[in-house]
Amino acid sequence: MDDRERWNQRYADGSHTGGTPHSWALECADALPKRGRALDLAGGAGALALWLATRGLSVTLADVSDRGLELASQRAAEAEVSLRCERIDLTDPVERERLGSGWDLVTCTNYFQAELFPWIAEVLAPQGLCLFAQPTLKNLERHARPSARFLVDPLSLDAWLGGLQVLERYEGWTASGTHELRLLARRSH
């Protein structure tokens, strides 16, 4: 079963409803743009994308799951907000190019792929922001999942953050019980 099929199954069985935006986005709300273009990577059922759209941004949600994107589209229609949904395999550089550039905000929460970050820096508009949150390796002290291959090693941050200047950083246990690295960064070139 590939990632698309696995995530479609998770949405179909109701295990990932995606009802609220990530708490880091809510904490950073005052620093985030209220107009312009936003790209939500691996945003699933669209909770964060919809929240950004209600704030006045023109939002594109990119995810591998057809079912997650269907849920996001339904929720956008119910909320009467515009949301562009794109089924994209973020591991494929050719597919990522379909998303274009000039984004004022790129969000990536609960998904980590180190090689995405130089690309994110390239597709951000000048002074564009990246909001990122992901469990770290330390999370394994209390939780067996996600497995190590999906977790961030904060010690390798400089190696994968290329082209982004960190404005705010938090690393620690969250109210939800996960150990996360949370960043708000700006395009540095």
User: How do 164-173 and 179-187 pair as beta strands?
Assistant: antiparallel
Q: What residues have CB less than 8 Å from 66, skipping those under 6 apart?
A: 4, 8, 87
- What is the average per-residue pLDDT within 103-110? 98
Phi-psi region for residue 185, left (φ > 0), alpha (ψ -120 to 50) or beta? Answer: beta
Domain ranges of the chain: 3-187
How many CB atoms within 10 Å of residue 128?
Answer: 24
CATH class of 3-187: alpha beta
- 41-64, pLDDT tens digit by residue? 999 999 999 999 999 999 999 999
Q: Note the pLDDT of residue 9.
A: 75
Question: Would you say the pTM of this structure is higher than 0.75?
Answer: yes
**Any idea which of 31-45, 92-106, 143-157, 164-178 has the lowest mean pLDDT?**
143-157
